[in-house]
Structures are given as structure tokens and as C-alpha cells.
Amino acid sequence: MILQALNAYYQRLADDPSENVPRQGYSREKIHFALILGQDGTLLDVHDLRIQDGKKLVPKELFVPHPGKKRAGTNPPPNFLWDNTGYVLGADAKGKPDHTRKCFLAFRKQTLAIPDDGDAGLTAVRAFLDAWEPERAPEVISTFLPWDEVAGWNVVFRLDGDMGYIHDRPAARTAWEALRGQSADADQGFCLVTGRLAPIARLHPAIKGVRGAQSSGASLVSFNLDAFTSYGKEQNHNAPVSEAAAFGYTTALNHLLRAGSNRRVQIGDATTVFWSERPHVLEDLMGLFLDKGPAPAPDDAEHADGQAADDGDLARHVRLVLEAVREGRMPKELGDTDVRFYVLGLAPNAARLSVRFFEVSTTGKIAARVGSHFRDINMERRHPRDPEFPSMWQLLIELAPLRKSDNIPPTLSGALMRAILGGHPYPRSLLAAIIGRIRADHEVSYLRAALLKGYFTRAPKGDNTWEVGVTLDPASTDIGYRLGRLFAILEKAQQDALPGINATIRDRFYGAASATPRAVFPRLIHLAQFHISKADYGYISDKRLGEVMEGLNDFPAHLTMDQQGRFALGYYHQRNALWRKADTTAQAPVPADD
């Protein structure tokens, strides 16, 4: 299903000239320099094709002839009319002159074998290689650019006075097609992707752009050990895919994974791509939902720390759509809601790629499930800067130690993504991860509280029918929720009595109070009596303390995992209510002076 969807996407890209995807037999490769040749093959100049990207130079990506498979072996074959300087010039910086000379001779032999049809570009390349002396490469190249910058990198040829490259000339394309036909040795078979009889690819092209995978590329489909094979078949003949389909699905996936793609985001360790069966606005909106989140509301723009009013029309468009789907409406901006939509998450696995998740649905269902997700995690914010529609990255970073992306639990990111896009309950591991982070850094943040609300909203109800609200629920009798409220009140009493205190009872007792209340709360309540009597001013009184404790005849010895989650929600809601301005009822609360 994954390969079929990607191959179909390639056909869509190939039919759209603006997408500029390569034809079969070509691939997008990083090229650093161009050798400028005269009509007689004289090297006239070396052009630096690299472009400035911030503080560094990055190679230019060009479509070049490519056999579609990794170059391997002791004597790897040369590329056609392009390669690194070891092949093209017979010199590099690896310190293996004998091997490099063999590479150059193979490159020259292949090029000189091209039929002479009078093309000026091919004639110039043949003349250049016929007269080139590899041992003089550093000396000659240094007259144009420093050899140390050029050595070892990929180069192409260009004829002086032409704008294009020699490998793009019609004669070069014809020669490349002929060379590919001569080297074709694929067995015929029925392709599992297309169902047609066609030459079967023994090796599939490499997939590049998955974070953490090999920089040279990794495989989505591969067999390299006898234990993986069956009926004596070798390599990818165990899962027959035609050469055309292998090229199609890998080209489409590499196009999605390319640098700067707006169809690619990072979710935990999963490099995530998404696309639709035909062009659809959700392709542009999905990236902001997963990665950055929409722009802030107009009233909040001045508070939005770098995500302010000029964040872009697209981000504001996302906000309007999300506001609609959160309310259960399907906005007209989404257009056709029956277009098939795909989301694929890939993670590195040695030389291969593993599939973290693959979700297939329609644009309408995906939008509705995203809306349901934001409805379920809807929580009162502590500050206008808190995102009303947090992205997946913003949510997952709350589960990572030190809030570092590299520390996001890998399996949890995929499980949460599947739950959101599939409309399922959030994984049980999410609750454990949130409680673990709260106990570790003693912080019940807005996003952690929002995730807890989403978890309990979607969790199977069983005997517990209590529903988590957006704001404080004074009528709730849930023991975990009430104890969390009580802990927030005791902390506020301490802060009123000791203004400017560096560490509160939250820093010392939160973990114990949320797990073993009986061991902690009697002591905290005893201390609270002194705090209330000492405070010259304050919101906490014996009466308010009694209102929360009404009906609490005893403290439980232990709280379950679910009760600890509700403890955190009760603490968050009560803390917001205590710090909210007196004249504010429905607006966002002001932040605490932590």
C-alpha cells in the first residue's frame, strides 16, 4: 500500500512540470563545481556551483544521469558525464592514487565509447579526457580555484557559451538511454506494485533525507541475508517490484524528503511526510499543524514572542481552519473532503528504514480528527503566549527530558500520531510519560495539562464517568482531582506568607503528595495553619481550605496512575483559579511568579 501510494504520487508529480521531478534513469544529486570546456576540450574555467545557506556553502542539486542503485564493490562503475574528482580528474584527497587512477580510466573509457554523432558538447568532453593528465590535476585546477576546495567533490561539464550542462544535451540523453539499455539484465516478473509483467529491480534506489539514517541513503525494501530470502530468490526478487515502480516510489519519497520541502516535518525520531492523491489545500496546512502551529490570534499577536502578527497568511489560514474543525464544522476553505490523504513516518534502522506509522484516510476525515484532537486537549491557558493550537512538536517536547528534541520518546511519538490521525484513544504510555516528567521537574505546564485532559477525555470510561473540564470544576469529587486542588491551595498559602520564596512545597513534596498523600498531606496542612495566620494579606483562609477538604475524612495511602494524572489536572486548574485576576472570569489567567 505504501509503495503503491508513492508510485501514484510520482505519476502525479511527473504530470506537473512545476514539480521538476527527474525522469527514470536520472536523479537529483548534489553537485559542487562545473568544468567549463572549450570546443576543443580545453579546460577554460572551474565554476563554483555552491550557494550560500546562512554561514555555509551548500552544493547545488541537479538532475543527472543515475542508474538508480547504490554504487558498491571493489571497482564501482563510474557515473555518466558527472562524478567526483577521483573519477573525472583522476585525483582527490583520499591518498589512494592507484585506486583513483583506475576510477579515472573507467570514467574515460565509458565516455570515449559514446558514439560520435557530431555533438559539440560530447566532442569537447572526449577531447578533454583524452588529453587530461591526472597527476597535474592539483596544479591545473589551482589556477581557477583552490584545489583543497575542489578535491573529492562532484563535478559536471559545461560547454563554454552554453547555459545548460553537457549531460542535459539531447545527444547525451540519447547516449545515456542506449547505455542503460545495454546494461539492463533484469529478470522479467509480475510487479507487486503495478500488477504488470515488467523487468524486476534487483536493488532499489536509496532513500535520502531521513534524519539519523545513513547520509548515502537507506532502503525501504531490501534483502541482504539468506535468512530474509525464500525459494532461492536473491535480494529484491523476494518482493518483486518493477524497475519503473521502484524508480517511481523512491523518486516520490526523495522528493517529499528533500531539503526545504513543506511536505516533511520531524516528529520525535520519525521523519514524517504527507501528500494527497491530487492537489489539495490540506497538503499546505498539514505541515504547520504538525511542526510550527498556526499564527496567534489577532488579540494575542503582540504577546507572541517571535510568532507575531506578520507570521504569514498561510499560518493565519491554518488558524481559521482549525477553529472551524475544532467546533465540528467543515470549512469551505478545505475544498473537496473526499480526496485520499496519506501520512508516513519513517525512522532509521541501520541501513534500512522502519515505518513508524502510515495513515490513509480522506482530507475530510483527517481534518475532522485533527479538530477532535484540539477539542479534546482544549484547556485554559496560563498566559496569552501559550499556543491555543499546539503543534505535535510543541506537545512532544513537553515529554522530553530537558525539553530537547533528541530526547522525545521515539515509540510514543508514533503512537500519539496514530491516535490523533486515526481518532483512537491516546496511548497509555502518554499518561506515564507526562507523570514522569512532572515528577522529575515539578512543573504542571499548560501543554502537559492539555495532554492529560485529552488522554482522560478519550480514555474508556468504565465505572468512572467524570469528564475533565476546560477550567476548574469545584463540584468534582474525584479524589485525585481534589487532592491536586488542595495541594495548589496549600502552596498559595505558603507563597502569601513567604513572598519571594525560592522553593515552594511543590519543589519538595509534589511527587510524594501525588503518589502517597497520607504520608505528606497531614504535615502540609499543619504547616498551612501557620502560613495562613502569618500572612498579612492573602487569598487563602481557613474557610476556603475547609471548602476544598469537605468530605475528605482520610487521605489514601496511594494514588493510582490515573489518579495521579487527575491530581495534576486539579493542581493546574486550582492554581490558575487562584492566580486569576479578580475581575477576570473567562479570560486567560495571569502567570504565577514562579
Apex CA 25: angle with CA 20 and CA 27, to 5°? 45
Q: Which one of 194-198, 284-288, 358-362, 521-525 scores highest in mean pLDDT?
A: 358-362
Q: What is the pLDDT of residue 587?
A: 42
List C-alpha distances in Å: 249 to 189, 465, 534.
Answer: 18, 48, 71
Q: Note the pLDDT tens digit of each residue in 127-139.
A: 999 999 999 999 9
Cα–Cα dist 160/38, whole Å: 5
Neighbours of 526 (CB within 10 A): 9
Residue 591, pLDDT score: 43
Q: Kindly report the CA angle at 124 between 121 and 129, in degrees rounded to 5?
A: 130
- Listed range (22-31, 177-186, 201-210) with the worst mean pLDDT: 177-186
Share of the chain above pLDDT 70, in %: 89
User: Beta strands 154-159 and 270-276: pairing type?
Assistant: unpaired
Q: Which amino acid is at 212?
A: G
Asked whether residue 588 carries a pLDDT value surpassing 50, the answer given is no
For position 198, what pLDDT does the model report? Answer: 85
Query: What was the pLDDT predicted at 313?
Result: 67
Higher pLDDT, 458 or 544: 458
pLDDT of residue 182: 65
Q: Supply 7's cell numbers.
A: 508510485
Per-residue pLDDT, 593 = 43
Measured between alpha carbons, how far is 83 from 60 in angstroms, rounded to an integer?
Answer: 14
Q: Please give the distance of CA 372 from its chain centroid, rounded to a whole number.
A: 22
pLDDT of 307 over the 50 cut: no
pLDDT tens string 118-164: 899 999 999 999 999 999 999 999 999 999 999 999 999 999 999 89
User: Residue 169's pLDDT is what?
Assistant: 93
Q: What pLDDT shows up at residue 124?
A: 96
* Torsion sign (Cα): 117, 120, 125, 129: positive
pLDDT of residue 185: 61
Q: DSSP letter for 303, please.
A: G
Q: What is the pLDDT of residue 590?
A: 41
Query: Would you tell me the crossing angle of helices 428-441 and 505-515 to the nearest 10 degrees?
Result: 140
pLDDT at 286: 87
Task: Say whether pLDDT at 584 is over 50.
Answer: no
Residue 189's pLDDT band (boundaries 50, 70, 90)? confident
Range list of H helices, 459-554:
479-497, 505-515, 517-534, 542-549
Q: Per-residue pLDDT for 527 more than 90?
A: no
Nearest to 588 by CA among 302, 305, 383: 383
**402-455: pLDDT as tens digits:** 888 888 888 888 899 999 999 999 999 999 999 999 999 999 999 999 999 999
**How far is it, in rounded angstroms, from Cα 24 to Cα 293?**
37
Stated as kind and residue range, the H or E segment containing 566 is helix 561-579
- pLDDT recorded at residue 292: 61
Query: How far apart (Å, rounded) are the C-alpha atoms in residues 263 and 270?
Result: 14
Q: Which residue has the cell 497520607?
A: 518
Minimum mean pLDDT among 76-80, 81-85, 262-266, 588-592: which range? Answer: 588-592
DSSP character for 219? Answer: B
pTM, full prediction: 0.73
pLDDT tens column, 341-356: 999 999 998 788 999 8
| Gyration radius from the chain CA atoms | 31
Please, are residues 34 and 155 in contact by the beta-carbon 8 Å criterion? yes
